[in-house]
Amino acid sequence: MSTLPLLKVNDVSKFYGSRIGCRNVSFELYAGEVLAIVGESGSGKTTLLSCLSTRLMPTSGIVEYHMRDGQYRDLARMGESERRFLMRTDWGFVHQNPADGLRMTVSAGANVGERLMAVGDRHYGNIRATASDWLERVEIGVDRIDDQPRAFSGGMRQRLQIARNLVTSPRLVFMDEPTGGLDVSVQARLLDLVRGLVHDLGLAAVIVTHDLAVARLLSHRMMVMKDGAVIEQGLTDRVLDDPREPYTQLLVSSILQV
Amino acid sequence: MNDLATYNFAYLDEQTKRMIRRAILKAIAIPGYQVPFASREMPMPYGWGTGGVQVTASILGPEDVLKVIDQGADDTTNAVSIRAFFQKVANVAVTTRTKEATIIQTRHRIPEEKLSEGQTLVYQVPIPEPLRFLEPRETETRKMHALEEYGLMHVKLYEDIARNGHIATTYAYPVKVEGRYVMDPSPTPKFDNPKMHMSEALQLFGAGREKRIYAVPPYTDVVSLDFDDHPFEIQSFDKPCALCGAEDVYLDEVILDDKGGRMFVCSDTDHCEDRRACGHAGHMLARKEAAE
């Protein structure tokens, strides 16, 4: 296992005109590590995630990624072709709304197989076998392989989206509110699944969530954001059990105890 | 010259022809690449071959011999009216014989007879973008062409196999041109795809409504996309042509009566007539003559 960080984020800021998206964020992410970014709506979580995943260009600051060849590359300076290739091979992006990340008009099997075909797999039998295998791993019946995601429930769609992203064995996955819009029992199953996959595959993940329970279950480390800035970061258990900043204390104390 | 207003030779004005020729030259220089052009209003509705007519008008010279086919036939409405149009506005010689033509404008077929050097085939194209049905955004499809991201094309073929057990796309079957651009060969049956490969004739594609021109220069690699375990195959027919007995040609089904009677005949009428003139006869032709 390499001891060099997978992702190096240095002083990243994003301004929308005079409005602040996020500012002066720095951190490092290591292979196999799960980082949760929490905070209330409008605190800059999603903007930060977009800057990290090259969906947005930061106004200032550098995001560097440790490529498979061992080199660090500044994502902003990478060519578009290379960046898109990276995004569909070594990375994954799980959207809050599965319809944004799936092709709703093609079958589940083709959704999972798309990345394989994009990197040059031209054997139908192999693609289908891999797709079946992944559907099983995310607990979708193999008999549903030819159904379109339109016919799937919200939880199944989200699991399909995860399978679609993981099929090329990425090293880094970004997740934007992966459990948003799902009811609690489905959330619990999904979290269980994601935790298992992250552990088995040694994935690094950056998870944006406003749900502290999700952060507690999935992440090793967490960052708390407010008004575009990171106000507290540390090991998840430490931050949740012993919050130091007044805002974090408020956030933790506002979890509903049942 | 008389004083009456007249059309310019071949209908389009010279500036428009110049603009279209520039697009054609660019298209030939980058095989399979869709070149945008300022498509003009033509005296016919979109979908009737406005793109093909503009390309033909731009390359037509007084010495050319024009053939126009629609679904392989020289005598269908679209073919007849476009042929009459160019007779009127360019006064060029027209023919139905593939061999004699220098320019062949076509809708949905490539002639059965092998084309030779010096001939130009002009296709009428309704939707030039092969990725359109999977990716509706033009900005995105252009980017995918630019970055050579063609995985999506195979997603379509995958869907075909998953639903039907084989690649069920029978027309507008996507091809890769010169190892680079994925191209829609217009709605020709996939039966004609192999004829595009290393063709001696120049192939030009005009899409009037979508305002795109693309081309396959002579002697260019044209490969139909497929899977290793589901290779590309052309249609095959059980019987030969009922009139001329030709095998290995594309056949049309013709309903004969309301009792289930039907016959299969060459879709390329010129090819069929040619063969009959040479003495070939299918089983229906023999019967017809016997009845007479």
Series of mean pLDDT values for 10-residue runs along chain A (258 residues): 85 94 94 92 92 93 93 92 91 93 93 94 95 93 94 93 93 91 85 89 91 90 94 94 92 78
Chain A contact probe: residue of B159, B161, B163, B166 with most A CBs at under 10 A: B159
Q: How far apart are CA A57 and CA A78, in angstroms?
A: 12
Q: Which residues in A lie closer than 8 A to residue B154 (C-beta atoms)?
A: 117, 122
Q: How large is the C-alpha radius of gyration of chain A?
A: 18
Contacts by A109-114, CB closer than 8 A, 24 or more apart: A109/A135, A109/A145, A109/A146, A109/B158, A109/B162, A110/B155, A110/B158, A110/B159, A110/B162, A111/A149, A111/A160, A111/A164, A112/A160, A112/A163, A112/A164, A112/A167, A113/A167, A113/B155, A113/B158, A114/A164, A114/B151, A114/B152, A114/B155
pTM of the complete model? 0.87
Query: Which among B151, B226, B229 has CB closest to A114?
Result: B151
pLDDT of residue B3: 61
Q: Is the CB of B155 less than 8 angstroms away from the CB of A127?
A: no
Output the CA torsion B256→B258→B261→B265 (10° steps). Answer: 30
pLDDT of residue A186: 86
Check pLDDT > 80 for residue B165: yes
Q: Is the CB of B155 less than 8 angstroms away from the CB of A128?
A: no
Query: Is B163 within 8 Å of chain A by CB?
Result: yes
Q: What is the DSSP string of A20-62?
A: EEEEEEEEEE-TT-EEEEEE-TTSSHHHHHHHHTTSS--SEEE
Q: How large is the C-alpha radius of gyration of chain B?
A: 20
DSSP H or E segment with residue A198: helix A184-201
Put simply, the chain A residues between 140 and 179 with a CB less than 8 A from any chain B CB are 145-146
How near does any CA of chain A get to the CA of B230, in Å? 7
Residue of A nearest to B158 (CA): A110
3-state helix, strand, coil in chain B (%, to 5): 30, 20, 50
Query: Which among B143, B158, B227 has CB closest to A110?
Result: B158
Residues of B designated as active site: 32, 241, 244, 266, 272
Q: How far apart are CA A129 and CA A62, in angstroms?
A: 40
**Total beta-carbon pairs less than 8 A apart between chain A and chain B:** 55
Q: Cα B188 vs. chain centroid, distance in angstroms?
A: 6
Residue B253 and residue B264 in contact, taking contact as beta carbons nearer than 8 Å: yes
At residue A45's C-alpha, the angle toward residues A42 and A46, to 5°, is: 90
Among residues B108, B119, B100, the alpha carbon closest in space to that of B49 is found at B108
Q: Is the CB of B227 less than 8 angstroms away from the CB of A114?
A: no
Chain B contact probe: residue of A82, A122, A130 with most B CBs at under 10 A: A122
pLDDT of residue A25: 95
Q: In this prediction, does ipTM exceed 0.95?
A: no
Check pLDDT > 70 for residue B33: yes
Tens digits of residue pLDDT in B272-284: 999 999 999 888 8
Q: How far apart are CA A6 and CA A172, in angstroms?
A: 8
Q: What ranges do the domains of chain B cover?
A: 3-136+170-224, 236-286
Instruction: Using the structure block, give the residue that is written with the tokens 């996939």.
Output: B190
Chain A contact probe: residue of B147, B150, B156, B158 with most A CBs at under 10 A: B158
Q: Which residues in A lie closer than 8 A to residue B230 (C-beta atoms)?
A: 124
Residue A224 and residue A38 in contact, taking contact as beta carbons nearer than 8 Å: yes
Check pLDDT > 70 for residue B156: yes
Q: Which residues in A lie closer than 8 A to residue B168 (C-beta atoms)?
A: none
pLDDT of residue B289: 64
The two three-digit tokens of residue A117, written as one number = 């075909």
For A225, which DSSP code? E
Check pLDDT > 80 for residue B207: yes
Output the CA torsion B79→B84→B87→B92 (10° steps). Answer: 20
For B118, which DSSP code? T
Residue of A nearest to B165 (CA): A124
For B66, phi then psi, to 5°, come to: -105, 140
As a CATH number, domain B3-136+170-224 is 3.40.50.11310
Mean model confidence pLDDT for chain B: 93
The two three-digit tokens of residue A144, written as one number = 């549903």
Q: Which residues in A lie closer than 8 A to residue B161 (C-beta atoms)?
A: 124
Query: Is B165 within 8 Å of chain A by CB?
Result: no
pLDDT of residue B96: 94
Tens digits of residue pLDDT in B58-73: 999 999 999 999 999 9
Residue of B nearest to A148 (CA): B159
Q: How far apart are CA B228 and CA B231, in angstroms?
A: 6
How near does any CA of chain A get to the CA of B225, in Å? 10
Q: Is the CB of A114 less than 8 angstroms away from the CB of B155?
A: yes
The b-or-e profile of A210-238 (16+ CB within 10 A means b, else e) is: bbbbbbbbbbbbbbbbbebbbbbbbebee
- Percent of chain B surpassing pLDDT 70: 96
Query: Is A79 within 8 Å of chain B by CB?
Result: no
Q: How far apart are CA A206 and CA A33, in angstroms?
A: 9
Query: Is B154 within 8 Å of chain A by CB?
Result: yes
Q: Over range B6-33, report the average pLDDT.
A: 94
Q: How far apart are CA B66 and CA B106, in angstroms?
A: 11
CA-to-CA dists, residue A257 to A38, A213, A224, A246, angstroms? 19, 11, 21, 20
Residue B98 and residue B133 in contact, taking contact as beta carbons nearer than 8 Å: no
